């Protein structure tokens, strides 16, 4: 049953969530609500044993503590967190739109300049995360929110993030990351699968994201029929060919600037030291195509 009120906000519709959480759009009827009239509220739903409850609460609070310290136009702002009406909640900025994965699933396609701008802005958010000595560890289209007019792009979800400068704090999610069930796209860098994630691991995941976004969503003006391809038709064969080593990147056969393909290849190199050394370096190259 929904708790009726969280810091002056009432829950509306569910807009996201995971195994242990649900994210609601929430609104306030106050004349001057502290965080604006509409926010997103993430609720923790405890399952399992009391010992497991403790771990889930610690993870939830850790996520909020990491995010609340970040302030950047390309990162979802966490306003507050705590226990409201006996339920753990994070109150955060509401973005009117969808996550990028949901946008990829839609059949309508977009021109390259819009796609690159979306990716560039997401990359700026990731660069800020790295500049605060945080490894996100779960960079993927699902964790990039985009407004309906494509003018607002924000990174989100610090559920498995790592703080590399705090040597005394054990990484409680040593591997993390995501392999999708569709098209077998893995965003996880080789070293991250061994529990050794660092900034370059996020760069790898971001490179895979660039590749997927262009492959799934690029408009092809010279062949309108291809603009009606669904996500799976665009991705499945290409991901299979990539996974068996027949092509380096998903968008290998797309007519796009070679420099853009080179960015993806460098970012997703299996050897960490051969990737970009920082997100700023990658963004300088990507900016040429925005």
198 is catalytic: no
CA distance 282 to 290: 13
User: Which CA distances in Å does 267 have to 116, 189, 211?
Assistant: 15, 10, 10
User: CB–CB of 89/24 below 8 Å?
Assistant: no
Alpha helices in the chain (DSSP H): 50-68, 100-105, 112-131, 199-217, 231-243, 258-267, 279-286
**Options 12, 138, 171, 253, the catalytic residue:** 138
Phi/psi of residue 37, nearest 5 degrees: -75, -25
User: What is the set of active-site residues?
Assistant: 138
């Amino acid at each position: 049953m929904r708790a009726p009120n969280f810091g002056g906000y009432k829950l509306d519709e569910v807009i996201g969530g995971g195994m242990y959480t649900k994210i609601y759009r929430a609104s306030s009827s106050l004349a001057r609500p502290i965080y604006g009239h509409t926010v997103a509220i993430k609720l923790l739903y405890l399952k399992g044993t009391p010992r497991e409850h403790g771990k889930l609460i610690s993870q939830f609070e850790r996520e909020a503590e990491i995010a609340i310290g970040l302030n950047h136009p390309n990162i979802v702002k966490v306003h507050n967190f705590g226990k409201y009406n006996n339920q753990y909640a994070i109150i955060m900025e509401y973005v009117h739109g969808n996550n990028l994965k949901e946008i990829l699933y839609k059949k309508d396609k977009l021109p390259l300049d819009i796609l690159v701008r979306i990716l560039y802005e997401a990359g700026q958010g990731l660069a800020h995360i790295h500049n605060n000595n945080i490894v996100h560890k779960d960079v993927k289209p699902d964790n990039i929110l985009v407004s309906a007019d494509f003018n607002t792009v924000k990174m989100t979800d610090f559920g498995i993030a790592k703080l590399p400068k705090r040597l005394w704090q054990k990484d409680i999610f040593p591997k993390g990351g995501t392999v999708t069930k569709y098209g077998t796209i893995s965003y996880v860098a080789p070293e991250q699968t061994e529990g050794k994630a660092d900034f370059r691991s996020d760069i790898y995941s971001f490179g895979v994201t660039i590749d997927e976004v262009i492959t799934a969503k690029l408009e092809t003006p010279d062949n309108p029929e291809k603009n009606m391809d669904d996500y799976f038709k665009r991705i499945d064969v290409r991901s299979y060919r990539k996974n068996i080593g027949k092509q380096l990147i998903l968008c290998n056969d797309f007519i796009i600037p070679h420099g853009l393909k080179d960015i993806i290849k460098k970012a997703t190199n299996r050897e960490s030291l051969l990737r970009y050394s920082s997100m700023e370096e990658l963004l300088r190259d990507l900016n040429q195509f925005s």
